Chain A
Amino acid sequence: MNALLAVPLVVPLLGAAITLLMRRTPRSQQVTATISLAAVVVDAALLLWHTWDGAVVVSQAGGWAAPLGITLVADPMAALLVLVSSVVLLVVLLYAIGQDIGGLSRAMPQVFHPIYLVLTAGVCLSFIAGDLFNLFVGFEIMLTASYALITQAPTRARVRASMIYTVVSLTSSILFLTGIALVYALTGTVNMADIAGKLGAAPPELRMVLALMFFVVFGIKAAIVPMHFWLPDSYPVALTRISAIFAALLTKVAVYAIIRTQTLLFVRDDVTSVLLWVAIATMIVGILGALVQDDVNRVMAFALVSHIGFMIFGLGLNTVAGLAGVIIYLVHHIVVQATLFLVNGLMRQYVGHTSLRAIRGLTTVSPALAVFFFLPALSLAGLPPMSGFIAKTALFQAAVTAEGGWLVGLGLAVGVLTSLLTLIAIFRIWTRAYWGTPLPDMVEARERLRSGPNTSGLRIMTAMTGVMVATGVAVAVAAGPLAQVSFTAAVDLLDGGAYVEAVLGRGSG
């Protein structure tokens, strides 16, 4: 059991060290990075298999019993998210390798691989950390790697954007640290299972302050309105492979942390109206921003902000059905968001930029690209039979059955409206960039690209985008088992007993 939980953390870090030593041999770097990530995928699948029935896998590092030692915990939700994240990380890595083989990127591959593996370790540690301080360390590993990644192939715009991104993330990290100090002062422990038991005795006012503090900390990182301003200015500026991973994973890790802290530490048994208000604002502000953008990547960044709102909405409902909806939504959104950014990356290869003002007729230039865009885009808007439809149905059903009065109704209405507006944003891209007669320089660019000295790179990139699209379809096909494990995870989350017992029970025995 111990090894299963250690692998997602240790293997990528080891891989990072090895790839760092192999700077002069790009091929062996690529192989090492791929093997490390494939190992994480296999391990995550095993973890999910062990937690499928709602069991909680615990590892006390170094044999120090909780709450004294470092505890790694995987409940069904964490295992599922580690699996989906590592699959996306692996596919994007292969896409990046294809890009490097084709000589189509200005990134420095020798630096990219080690940092990318460190980022993987950070993401996985954040998901399986059993105490607040390790959650902080996981976040820091992930964010520090992301600071370095966002400046890859530095241009003036990129350096400026990354400066703002770094400062904003760092501010929220420092607030996180302050929150940990307050929790430790109040309870004398940082182990989350232990805090869950002790925080109940704390004064309600203090608990509310702490709950809000952690919500703000993770809210900044998850880019919920009104703390979203940094995201559309920083993500689209980075290299496509990097913005794909950022958009797919970094905000979702923060959403996971919000879910974990709000359900385990700050337990309540009614609808959380603050969360619902924030969710409503996030959905509507994000999508209205997406509607007026001229750059495909910026449209996607605003749509990302908007769809974070759906997840917060489900959490705010505070029911098993709502939380299960959030988990399905997380899985769907991680895959779809990564796919759309990869498609934009391919578009940039063909056209040289992503501005909607100067793209026409991509359908003619590359029919495969059009298909790759169309399927995940419809999924994002929530049309049947795509995974987005399943995720949204689960959320909306939960909202209909929840007892929350008019506020839940308002959230539901805004959710439906946001889905429709997402469809409009998608069709704006479709009619502007994909329909029509291609501009002459676009056809030329395609011929130049296709007759280039090394087309295998482009083929790998296209294939990997195809794999991501297929993964999105697979999420929809596997909706039954996904819903099943999501419900198990949601029951675990709301109950909290299994988690606490697994962490503390085995340790104190």
Chain B
Amino acid sequence: MTTPGFVLIASVGVLYSCGFYLLLQRSLMRVVFGILMLGHAANVSLLLTDEAITLPPLLSGGSGEMSDPLPHAMALTAIVITFGVTTFLLALAYRVWLGDENDEVPDDVEDRRISKLTEPEEPS
């Protein structure tokens, strides 16, 4: 295993774990950052599929060896998609904040119903 390969693998691991950790937070901003990190993790793992990742893509100064261009193409497509959707998510998070002045993810509707059932009734 070459050094860049190891560094990439390690960073994929870190990105996935941080991404999922942030995804499970209550604050929507952190959730957005979690999605961002997960997107990066997926893109880097796409690049990792090529063993010759250290070689230049397409042209390589006449030696004839080059890295596989397909993962690059797929990662590019995926970057465009995650970029666009992240922008949309940021706009949504902003709208939520404008509406409620907090960006916490609310409890599940069913959870709220159940907790309402267990609340002691107001003395009438």
Contact = CB atoms under 8 A, between A and B. Distances in A.
Interface of A: 133, 137, 140, 144, 147-148, 151, 154, 156, 159-160, 162-164, 166-167, 170-171, 173-175, 177-178, 180-182, 184-185, 190, 229, 232-233, 289
B48 interface: yes
Contact of B99 (A156, A170, A177, A181): A156
Contacts of A175: 42
Contacts of A180: 46, 74
21 contacts: A163-B89, A163-B105, A164-B105, A166-B92, A170-B85, A171-B38, A174-B35, A174-B41, A174-B42, A175-B42, A177-B46, A178-B42, A181-B42, A181-B46, A181-B49, A184-B46, A184-B49, A184-B71, A229-B108, A232-B109, A233-B108
B18 interface: no
B71 to A, nearest CB: 7
A166 B89 contact: yes
Contacts of B46: 177, 180-181, 184
Nearest to B74: A133
B45 interface: yes
B21 interface: no
Contact of A174 (B38, B70, B106): B38
Instruction: Give the secondary structure class of A's interface.
Output: helix
B96 A163 contact: yes
A233 B109 CA distance: 7
Nearest to B93: A163
Given A151-B92, A181-B45, A232-B110, 14 more contacts: A144-B84, A144-B85, A144-B88, A147-B88, A154-B95, A159-B95, A160-B96, A160-B99, A163-B105, A170-B85, A170-B89, A177-B43, A177-B78, A184-B49
Contacts of B100: 156, 160
Interface in B58-98: 70-71, 74, 77-78, 81-82, 84-85, 88-89, 92-93, 95-96
A134 to B, nearest CB: 10
A164 B106 CA distance: 10
Interface string B25-55: 0001001000100110111011011000000
Contacts of B41: 174, 178
A451 B61 CA distance: 79
Contacts of B42: 174-175, 177-178, 181
B interface, size bucket: 35 or more
Nearest to B88: A147
Contacts of B88: 144, 147-148, 166
Interface of B: 23, 28, 31, 35, 38-39, 41-43, 45-46, 48-49, 70-71, 74, 77-78, 81-82, 84-85, 88-89, 92-93, 95-96, 99-100, 105-106, 108-110
A190 B46 CA distance: 12
Contacts of B106: 160
Contacts of B48: 181, 185
Contacts of B108: 229, 233
A90 B105 CA distance: 35
B96 A137 contact: no
A403 B106 CA distance: 46
Nearest to B109: A233
Interface centre among B92, B93, B110 (most CB of A within 10 A): B92
A356 B45 CA distance: 49
6 nearest A-B residue pairs (beta carbon): A185-B49, A177-B42, A156-B99, A181-B46, A181-B45, A174-B38
A167 B92 CA distance: 11
A289 B89 CA distance: 29
A178 B85 contact: no
A159 B99 contact: yes
Nearest to B73: A133
A108 B75 CA distance: 34
Given A133-B74, A233-B109, A147 B96 contact: no
Given A174-B38, A233-B109, A163 B71 contact: no
A170 B43 CA distance: 14
Contact of B92 (A162, A171, A229): A162
